[in-house]
Amino acid sequence: MTPTDVHRGPGRPRSPELEHTICRAAIDLLAEESYDALSIEAVAARAGCGKATIYRRWGSKSALVVDAVAACRDAGLAPPDTGSVRDDLLAFVRGFMHHLRTSDAGRVMPALVAEMARNADLATAFRAGFIQPRRARVLEAVRRGVERGELRLDVDADLVADGVVAVLQYRFLITGMEIDEDLPGRLVDMLWRGIART
């Protein structure tokens, strides 16, 4: 069960097409305006459905937004098991860079980050429904690397999970510095020097 499932009440059988339309409307409105300006009424009007239809599926605006953003996820964000944890991490960073540049999640990330500082419910739902599943993928890659003897036994897996995305997010959200094609390789090389087993 996902964090947002607990907010959903009983209702008609789920329609994947309708849910996609609603999530698409929520993303478009969030990108065009702001989280504060986003309303269930506006999403319903954009999606061509009633408010009750949305409330049967999502119990709150934050639950809808988190599901809408999660639906933008790129399957390539999961690090493949290539047999090399370095290659796994590099694939993850490249996928995340592409995700920030081209996905709908990247379009709305600035608005969400700004709102999370003021909205504890949104922050909790977003971390549980969007951030933690992605961190888990990196933690699993690190675990495999330790088991195979590629990484130091005392490697701080949480720090690695933060490190593989921190520079990209900092440049994307804060400094506006270029995120060039060589950045993932430079980033993983820098991390690798501190975590590889010698």
For residue 139, count CB atoms less than 10 angstroms from its CB and return exposed for 0-12, middle for 13-18, buried for 19 or more.
middle
143/67 Cα distance (integer angstroms): 28
Map out the domains of the chain with their CATH numbers.
5-70 (1.10.357.10), 75-195 (1.10.357.10)
pTM summary value = 0.74
Find tokens 């995305």 and name the residue: 165
Res. 182: pLDDT tops 70: yes
Q: In this predicted structure, what is the pLDDT of residue 68?
A: 85
Amino acid of residue 25: A
Is it the case that residue 67 has pLDDT exceeding 90?
no
pLDDT the model gives residue 112: 85
Burial 141-162 (b: 16+ CB within 10 A, else e): bbebbbeeebbeeebebeebbe
pLDDT for the residue 44 = 96
Q: Which range, of 71-85, 86-100, 163-177, averages the lowest pLDDT?
A: 71-85
What number is the average pLDDT over the span 169-194? Answer: 92
**What residues have CB less than 8 Å from 101, skipping those under 6 apart?**
179
pLDDT at residue 14, rounded to an integer: 62
Question: 55: which 2 tokens?
Answer: 């409330």
- 87-122 pLDDT tens trace: 999 999 998 888 888 777 778 888 888 888 888 888
Q: Any idea which residue has 């709102």 for tokens?
A: 115
Structure tokens at 99: 């995700």
Task: Please state, for a pLDDT cut of 70, what percent of the chain lies above it.
Answer: 89
Task: Tell me whether residue 46 is exposed, middle or buried, using C-beta atoms within 10 angstroms of its C-beta: 0 to 12, 13 to 18, 19 or more.
Answer: middle
